[in-house]
């Protein structure tokens, strides 16, 4: 057993002279939900399709649970379950027959019990003998999960899985992923919906113009930021005076914006009580101090914008 469920090294795809994916490397650990994040057309889908071998690689290697896709294709593919974009099924067959179809394609024998177990896990036991034609999109998505996990893969790969799902469906879907991850299945998921990824992933990579420009974990976002400079919003009675006091007394606090009675400040955590004290001592009424959590979206835009600015310089 290898340390990583998925290891991607120097993945490259060129079509003609155009480089669509440029030297992308990352690893997905066991039981981890890893996100590929990027605007549409950034190359996420191409990366995923190269990993699941729907698209030929121009360069680079892919190891799935330690099996090299080039040297031991069938072993590697047997460790992988995937839904590529919308899960498509044979609509004229029942859900059960569709699962049976994919069960027959696995290297190991998949018992009737396993099919029933998976059906129950995704909550389709009442509809499994109906033709897929009659399924709603949410049900198809659940059947998609069922076919992907049928053979107990080490890694589950999902390309834009929540496309077209309603909020209820998205929530259910997220719960399945959490459940699977807690059972040791790793998940690689791509999306351009940033808020969605924030709720889903343990770590994420940002892809832009075919390049991997940033990898970080959601926990970095929360824990290390306590020590870093953070953003707070303060509502008070005299914002003009407050700004003046801050520039005079606390030079390393930045007022990033002011709107009406609200100020947005960049501070370190230990400075917050000092600021509060300063305001109170100068007869400024403080109504509210809000911690403005940096969302993934902000970070995403921050990172991609910084990249753009650098390019412009």
Partner 1 sequence: MIPLIQNELMKIFGKMASWIYMIVIVLAVLIAGIIYSKFSADPNPNWKQDTQNEITMLENQMASASGDEKKMIQNQIEQTQQFLDQDINPNAKTNWHFMNDVVVGVSSLVTLFVVVVGSANVAAEFSDGTIKQLLIRPHQRWRILLSKYIAVIIYALLLVLTLIVSGYIIGLLLFGSGDFNMKMFEITLEGRKVAIVGTQFLLKMVYFIPSLLIIMTIAFMLSTLFKSQALAVGIGIFVLFFSSTLGGIILMLADKYTWAKLLIFPHLDLTVYALQDRILEDITLPVSLSILAVYYAIFMMLTFFFFQKRDISI
Query: Which residues, including other chains, have CB under 8 Å from residue 235's CB and lie 6 or more apart?
Result: 261, 262, 286, 287, 288, 290
Taking the C-alpha atoms of residue 260 and residue 246, their distance in angstroms, rounded to an integer, is 17
Pick between residue 100 and residue 268 the one whose CB is nearest to partner 1. 100
**Contact residues for partner 1 (CB under 8 A)?**
49, 52-56, 73-78, 80, 82-93, 97, 100-102, 104-107, 147
Q: How many CB atoms lie within 10 A of CB 191?
A: 22
Pick between residue 122 and residue 236 the one whose CB is nearest to partner 1. 122
Pick between residue 138 and residue 294 the one whose CB is nearest to partner 1. 138
Closest separation between CB of residue 208 and partner 1, Å?
20
Closest separation between CB of residue 63 and partner 1, Å?
15
Pick between residue 80 and residue 265 the one whose CB is nearest to partner 1. 80
Closest separation between CB of residue 72 and partner 1, Å?
10
Taking the C-alpha atoms of residue 20 and residue 41, their distance in angstroms, rounded to an integer, is 9
Query: Which residues, including other chains, have CB under 8 Å from residue 73's CB and lie 6 or more apart?
Result: 53
Pick between residue 147 and residue 191 the one whose CB is nearest to partner 1. 147
Handedness of CA 124, 126, 129, 131 (dihedral sign): negative
Helix residue ranges per DSSP H, the chain = 44-51, 73-78, 95-105, 112-121, 137-149, 167-182, 194-200, 218-223, 239-249, 271-281, 296-312
Taking the C-alpha atoms of residue 221 and residue 217, their distance in angstroms, rounded to an integer, is 7
Asked if 253 and 246 count as a contact pair (C-beta separation under 8 A), the reply is yes
Question: Which H or E run contains 252?
Answer: none
Closest separation between CB of residue 194 and partner 1, Å?
25
Pick between residue 146 and residue 181 the one whose CB is nearest to partner 1. 146
Pick between residue 38 and residue 239 the one whose CB is nearest to partner 1. 38
Q: Rounded to 5 degrees, what are φ and ψ at 211?
A: -110, 145
Crossing angle (nearest 10°) for helices 167-182 and 137-149:
10
Taking the C-alpha atoms of residue 127 and residue 147, their distance in angstroms, rounded to an integer, is 15
């Amino acid at each position: 057993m290898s340390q990583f469920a998925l290891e991607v090294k120097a993945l490259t795809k060129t079509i003609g002279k155009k480089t669509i994916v440029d030297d992308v490397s990352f690893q997905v650990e066991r039981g981890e939900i890893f996100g590929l994040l990027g605007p549409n057309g950034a190359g996420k889908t191409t990366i995923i399709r190269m990993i699941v071998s729907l698209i030929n690689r121009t360069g680079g290697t892919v190891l799935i649970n330690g099996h090299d896709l080039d040297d031991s294709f069938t072993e590697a593919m047997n460790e992988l379950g995937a839904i590529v974009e919308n899960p498509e099924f044979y609509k004229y067959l029942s859900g059960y027959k569709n699962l049976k179809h994919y069960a027959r394609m696995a290297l190991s024998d998949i018992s009737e019990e396993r099919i029933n177990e998976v059906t129950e896990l995704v909550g389709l036991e009442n509809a499994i003998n109906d033709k897929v034609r009659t399924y709603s999109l949410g049900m198809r998505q659940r059947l998609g999960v069922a076919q992907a996990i049928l053979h107990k893969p080490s890694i589950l790969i999902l390309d834009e899985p929540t496309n077209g799902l309603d909020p209820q469906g998205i929530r259910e879907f997220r719960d399945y992923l959490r459940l699977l991850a807690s059972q040791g299945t790793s998940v690689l998921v791509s999306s351009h919906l940033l808020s969605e990824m924030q709720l889903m992933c343990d770590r994420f990579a940002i892809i832009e113009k075919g390049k991997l420009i940033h990898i970080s974990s959601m926990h970095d976002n929360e824990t290390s930021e306590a020590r870093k400079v953070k953003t707070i919003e303060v509502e008070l009675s005299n914002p003009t005076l407050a700004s003046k006091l801050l520039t005079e007394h606390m030079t390393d606090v930045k007022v990033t914006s002011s709107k009406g009675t609200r100020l947005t400040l960049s501070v370190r955590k230990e400075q917050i009580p000092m600021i509060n004290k300063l305001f109170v001592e100068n007869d400024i009424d403080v109504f509210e101090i809000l911690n403005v959590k940096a969302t993934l979206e902000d970070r995403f835009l921050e990172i991609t914008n910084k990249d753009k600015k650098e390019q412009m310089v």
